[in-house]
């Protein structure tokens, strides 16, 4: 039994049956030679009374010295009572990241997430994760791979952070499904990019400009009535875009002044409204056979795209930087200016967590600042009056 070196391996000839050439220096380390000439490094060891044969790799891609080093590690683990075949089998049977993504979308996302979240997760997997990591084994992914992917999206920090979040969930599930060891999530300690929280609130003058524009496009017919109705309801209710776009007449109770939404981002909720919203709803035509409040062009369907009409409307109103979601922020701002507290605003907006409403806390200081300014101006004017 010679020492396995490149020379002795090259000299090992194939026969009519598979044979193993054992190394005379490291007991248990050998070279399996197949009848077709293929040569593979192997290790034979015993773990807790059970004999194990473990394949290290094919000669060529792996050198004799590299195989010897791996064999030494495997034999040391076996001597300590660990079964090295478990990790080897796990690595060999491990799916690719693409396969993990498919299972993630099918068994987790499709069952536990809302349609909008499903769309965002699938988008992250298809556009950002699979092109970079899809062909790699789940067990081979390291922190540096995740950091590199995240850094590659630095020009779009919001998307980079959302993709990192999706990857973290995927690798947590990989642990649950036994595809990786516990506590091995490679996303751990990869620092997210700072995000600039956008805050845009309409002033009374901007509300007036938007109101005039809606009346103008309604009069000249340049936009569909459904789009106009949707924008008005978003302005007046503080609802999320999806809540208005999927609103059905079955959810509307005009007499009770309520929208009873069976599902939303935070679950079922009731949206209360006043006379102004009631007039808008009463003015919307109900179409037989169509359950939607914001109807589309197709028979029985709803409007699915408000972004394009909104861009034209906001441009005409001189509000190019205002997003549809800013109408919800402005609703909260208006409530604060009228003296409503954060707890009430959280209920109006349907927030499930206090922290979400807390982003508006600084706006609550505006009325206080205004009052303080009036008082100081009054006192300042008095003390500046020198008299005759």
Distance of CA 139 to the CA centre of its chain: 22
3-state secondary structure of 335: helix
Q: Assess whether 261 and 279 both reside in one domain.
A: yes
pLDDT digit string, tens, across residues 311-345: 999 999 999 999 998 888 888 776 666 666 566 66
Q: How confident is the model at residue 24 (pLDDT cuts 50, 70, 90)?
A: confident
Same domain for 118 and 77?
no
Domain carrying residue 65: 6-93
**Do 141 and 13 have their domain in common?**
no
Residue 74: the pLDDT is 84
Which residue, 93, 121, 156, sits at the end of a domain? 93
To the nearest whole percent, how much of the chain has pLDDT over 70? 82
Pairwise CA distance, residues 231 & 219, whole Å: 16
pLDDT of the residue at 377: 73
Q: Both 356 and 208 in a single domain? A: yes
* pTM (global) more than 0.75: no
In terms of domains, do 78 and 216 share one? no
pLDDT attached to residue 317: 94
Residue 184 included in any domain: no
Give me the number of domains the chain comprises.
3
Residues 349 and 221 in one domain: yes
Same domain, 147 and 229: no
361 & 300 share domain: yes
Segment 340-356 mean pLDDT = 62
User: Is residue 194 situated within a structural domain?
Assistant: no
- Is 238 within the bounds of a domain? yes
139-153, 190-204, 274-288, 339-353: least confidently modelled range: 339-353
pLDDT digits (tens, 9 = 90+) for 126-181: 999 999 999 999 988 999 999 999 999 999 999 999 999 999 999 999 999 988 88
CATH code: domain of residue 356:
1.10.443.10
Q: Do residues 352 and 247 share a domain?
A: yes
Q: What is the pLDDT of residue 201?
A: 81
| 232 contacts: CB under 8 Å, gap ≥ 6 | 214, 280
* Cβ contact 84:54 at 8 Å: yes
- E strands, 159-311, are 252-253, 258-261, 269-272
115/152 same-domain check: yes
**Could you tell me if residue 284 is inside a domain?**
yes
Q: Which of 128, 156, 176 is a domain's end point? A: 176
Question: What is the Cα–Cα distance from 270 to 152, expressed in whole angstroms?
Answer: 42
Query: Which whole-number Å values give the CA distances from 135 to 104, 105, 139, 250, in the listed order?
Result: 16, 17, 12, 48
Angle at 213 between CA 300 and CA 346, to 5 degrees: 70
Least confident span in 88-92, 220-224, 363-367: 363-367
Q: What is the pLDDT of residues 201-244, one digit of tens each?
A: 888 899 899 999 999 999 999 999 999 999 999 988 888 898 99
Kindly state whether residue 197 falls inside one of the protein's structural domains.
Answer: no
What CATH number does the domain containing 152 carry? Answer: 1.10.150
Residue 135 lies in a domain: yes
Domain boundary among 49, 67, 93: 93
* CB contact set of 251 (below 8 Å; sequence gap of 6+): 259, 260, 261, 262
Sign of the CA dihedral with 216 first, then 217, 222, and 224 last:
negative
User: With 90 as the cut, is the pLDDT of residue 115 above it?
Assistant: no
- The dihedral over CA atoms of 231, 232, 237, 240, expressed in degrees to the nearest 10, equals -10
- Say what the pLDDT of residue 324 is: 92
CATH number assigned to the domain comprising residue 67: 3.30.160.390
239 part of a folded domain = yes
Whether residue 140 is contained in a domain is answered as: yes
Q: Which residue has the higher pLDDT, 202 or 49?
A: 202
Highest mean pLDDT among 43-57, 258-272, 317-331, 343-357: 317-331
Question: Nearest-CA neighbor of 287 among 302, 269, 270, 276?
Answer: 302
DSSP state of 188: T
Which segment of 100-104, 189-193, 327-331 scores lowest on mean pLDDT?
327-331
Same domain? For 217 and 330 the reply is yes
Give the model's confidence band at 190: pLDDT under 50 very low, under 70 low, under 90 confident, else very high.
very high
Do both 30 and 52 map to the same domain?
Answer: yes
């Amino acid at each position: 039994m010679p020492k396995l070196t490149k020379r002795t391996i090259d000299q090992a000839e194939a026969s009519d049956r598979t044979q193993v050439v054992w190394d005379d220096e490291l007991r248990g380390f050998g070279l399996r030679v197949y009848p077709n000439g293929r040569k593979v490094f192997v290790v034979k060891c015993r773990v807790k009374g059970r004999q194990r044969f473990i394949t290290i790799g094919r000669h060529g891609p792996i050198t004799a010295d590299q195989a010897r080093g791996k064999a030494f590690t495997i034999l040391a683990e076996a001597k300590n009572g660990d079964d090295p075949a478990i990790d080897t089998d796990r690595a060999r049977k491990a799916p690719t990241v693409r396969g993990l993504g498919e299972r993630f979308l099918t068994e987790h996302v499709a069952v536990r997430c809302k349609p909008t979240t499903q769309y965002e997760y699938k988008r992250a997997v298809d556009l950002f994760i699979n092109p970079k990591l899809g062909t790699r084994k789940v067990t081979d992914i390291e922190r540096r791979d995740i950091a590199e992917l995240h850094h590659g999206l630095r020009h779009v920090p919001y998307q980079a952070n959302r993709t990192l979040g999706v990857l973290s969930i995927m690798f947590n599930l990989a642990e649950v499904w036994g595809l990786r060891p516990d506590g091995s999530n490679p996303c751990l300690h990869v620092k997210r990019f700072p995000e600039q929280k956008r805050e845009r609130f309409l002033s009374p003058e901007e509300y007036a400009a938007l109101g005039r524009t809606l009346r103008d496009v309604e009069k000249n017919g340049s936009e569909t009535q459904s789009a106009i109705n949707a924008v008005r309801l978003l302005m007046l209710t503080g609802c999320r875009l999806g809540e208005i776009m999927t609103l059905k007449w079955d959810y509307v109770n005009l007499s009770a002044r309520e929208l009873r939404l069976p599902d939303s981002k935070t679950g079922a909720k009731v949206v209360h409204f006043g006379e102004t919203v009631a007039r808008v709803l009463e003015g919307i035509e109900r179409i037989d056979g169509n359950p939607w409040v914001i109807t589309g062009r197709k028979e029985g369907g709803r409007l699915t795209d408000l972004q394009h009409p909104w861009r034209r409307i906001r441009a005409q109103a001189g509000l190019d930087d205002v997003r549809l979601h800013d109408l919800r922020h402005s609703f909260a701002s208006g409530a604060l200016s009228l003296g409503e507290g954060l707890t009430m605003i959280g209920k109006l907006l349907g927030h499930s967590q206090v922290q979400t409403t807390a982003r508006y806390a600084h706006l609550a200081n505006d009325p206080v600042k205004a009052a303080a300014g009036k008082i100081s101006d009054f006192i300042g004017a008095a003390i500046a009056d020198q008299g005759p």
